[in-house]
Structures are given as C-alpha cells and as structure tokens.
Structure 1
Amino acid sequence: MKKILLILLLSFGLIGCSSINLSSLELSTTSPSVIEAEKILVLGLSHDQNLVEARKIANPNISLAVIKELNNRINEAEINRVDLENISKYAEMVKVSDDNLKFVGAKISDTKTRNMLGKEEKLDYFLLGSKDNNGFIQHKLNFSITYTSDERRNYSSASYCDKWNRCDNENQMDVILISLKASGCSSFDCDYNEIVEFELSDSFLKENMEEGFSIDFNSKGSMSSRVSISSSYIKGYLKIAN
C-alpha cells in the first residue's frame, strides 16, 4: 500500500513539474519586445503615444524592436479594416433573385495589351451562382473579352494558376460558350467579343477564400487571358450566396 501511495505521489509531482515547465517554456518563447509591446497596448493609448512609451525603454535594442512591433500591429489592423470594408462593399453589390436562389456578384473590369503595338483588350468577369431546392449551390465564373483581331480566338478551356503564377496547362478544363460576336469589321480585322463560363464548386471557393485565386482562359490558338478573384471579393460574394 505504501508503495502504491509513493508511486501516486511521484506521478502527481511529475505532472505538476511538467505543467510548470510547459508554462515556463511558453513564457520563455515570447520575445521581450512582444511582452513590452503588450504592456504598452493595454494602456489604451493612441499609436503615437504608444511609440513615445516605447522610446522610454532603457535598452535601445528592445526599444527599437518594440517600435517595430507596434508599427506592424497598426499596419495589420489597417489591412484588416480595409479588407472588412471591401468585403462589405462586394457583399452589397451581389444581386439576388428568384426567391434567393440566384446570385450575381459584382462585375470586375480590366484592360490589357499584348504588346507595345497591340490594341487594348477589355476583360469583364464576375461570379454567379444558383441554388436548388435542396440547398445545393453551384457557382460559375463568367468571363467576357473584347479584342481586335484578324480572326476569332475561340476560348475553349480554363486552367488553374497558383500563387507563383504557374498555371496547370496540362489539365485544361472545358468552358461553356455563352456568346461570340464580331463587329466593326474592316478588310484586315474585326472587333470580337467572346463570353464563356467556367463552373466552380462551393467547396473550391471556400478553400480559396483566404488567398483568392487566378484562372487562365485559353483559346484554341494557344493564347490565354488571366483573371484574378481576390479574397475580399469571394468573402463578400459568399456572405450573400451562402
């Protein structure tokens, strides 16, 4: 019986020491500059006043590190504020119809030129989605491009691009042709407008809502046009669509 009690006491002692060591370890991994910055921030002062307090720190190295930490905090807070404003802006621009079963996101417009002598190309794109009676929702990326050329390009596929701008051209996916028009034709060229749609799953949008995503729309003549959807756009759109 005495041996059992002794083992129990030793076990509790080891657990206690382990807890103390873990707590100490957590504290030791927090840098002095972060600790000092937290002390200043709890005072509830303005950012300029926080910097004044940081300059009062006796150790010049820690003082500089605290100033850097405080500036990083205020910059991060500003980025978050802008992101929230953009999310709200994009959410307000989503058009809802058919008893909340259809959604059309804000249109993004851009212009690009292929080279120094090339004419401007106009790109318009936006997300749209539809929900069935069971709550299943499917999204699409609508892509419209207007360009001047001696022949139409025939956009027929799309490929995902990563954050390093590398696109998976070996696994191109089909797009749906919505319309193809030619106007203002001369002896040399025409003004073409092509509109296609590319299907996106709800899970894909949710998986990419923090980083955003880019997609290349590819023509049969090996010419591609890239579009990018930002994180705030996706979050604003899904805020209404989901």
Structure 2
Amino acid sequence: MNSICLSVSQRLPAAVLVCLLASWSGAADLADAPSQTRSPIPPYPSIRLSSILMQSTSVDGQVSHGLNMPRLDEVLNNLHRHAASYPTRFANEQDQARARDDATKLSVFFDTLDQPDQKDGGMLLRSAMLNAMAHHLDIAGSMSKADQYFERLIQLKPDAANAHQQYGLFLASSARSKQAVKHLTQAKLLGARVGFPLAMAHFATGDRNAAIEQLNLYLQNQPHDQKARRMLAAIQDNRAFVKSK
C-alpha cells in the first residue's frame, strides 16, 4: 500500500497533509494528475500600476485623484489566476518574480489608502484578498495583514457570506483548519456553497464524522463530482488520513 497526498501545505511548522492509502493500481483513479486536469498556465501579464490611479480636473480647475476600480479589479484578477492558492501557478520564474513585486507594491499602496474607520467593505475585501495572495507568494508579513483585513471586514459586515467564505478558504490554505471550519460553517449558514472545502477542513481537524456528513450533503447537490465521491469512500473505508509534519 502507498500513500497519495492530495493536498500539501509545507510553509507552516505544523503543516497538514491530507493523504489516501491506495495500491498503485488505484493511484491514478484517486489522485488527479495536474497535467490531465489543469489547463495550460497562461503568462502573467505586465502591469502598469500607475494605471490604477485617475486624475480629473473640475470646471473650476480643482484637481482630484481617485482609483480606476475596473482597472484595479483587472490587476487583482490577474494575480488571482496565478496566486489564488498555494502552491502558486506560473509559467516561469520570471512571471512569478514580477507577480511578487506587483503584490508587494500593491500591498504598500493599499496600506496608504487604508483608514482605521474604513467603512468600504469592498476595499477591505480587496485588501484582504491581495494579502492572502501575497502570502501564497511567500511575502513576509502578508498572512497577519490578510487576517487583520478579513477580521475588520467581518466586523463591519458580519452577515456577508463571501467574507466568511474567503476568510475560511484562506485559513484552510494556511493550515488553520479549526478557524477555517468556523468561518466556512458561517458562510454556509449565510448561503454560500462551501460544502466540499468545509468537509476537508473538518477532516483536517480529525473530525471524520463531520467530514462524511458534509460530503454527503455536498454530493446531494453535486452527484456527479467523482473526486468528492472517491474522497468520501476513502474516508469511510479508513483509507484517508491527516498527517502533520
């Protein structure tokens, strides 16, 4: 019997590995090969961060500055395509280095715009997501900054399903499964479709029964998800386990 790791987080002292025990004959069936299931990695585009800023002049000659929000969201979406999770996906090291540089500069830029009494939930979410991606890019200090922005956002908008969902996913990706369960559960109560990541977060904490329950509920709505069905069977048959290192 051999172990097949389905997800790995190696950047924290108590990294969590979720694995399946299977014979080699079943390996291809249980673990999706990236070359078969993922689309080709697109190049990371060159970004002029100055394009995010806008300047306008009123009829009386007053100059004001603002943000080009569609352009800002385009920049963040480009980062998200490559750094939404860990490990990140880049076509080459040069693209990854440019993305790290962009994320670093954007983080500083967002910090200068931030106010302690920020009431714009959209900007708080953008700042939280940016720093989450910066953490995936191994930029020092980004995890704590992402936490702070997410927590402020949830304090401002406690009933925002997307805020709890995104924070729960980030917590899960940074090997903080118990906290992830809390926010993913709240997101689900608020209407978000987070059944599979919630099940995996439960499983990572060692709660197999809760993982099985959530996978069964998930499969009621997504009966054709064969990966989830195989994961459920592996957990039920004690072929799946959590390993910390």
* Structure whose alpha-carbon radius of gyration is higher: 1
Which structure is higher in helix share? 2
Which structure is higher in strand share? 1
Q: Which has the higher contact order (CA 8 A, sep 6+)?
A: 2
TM-score by length of 2: 0.22
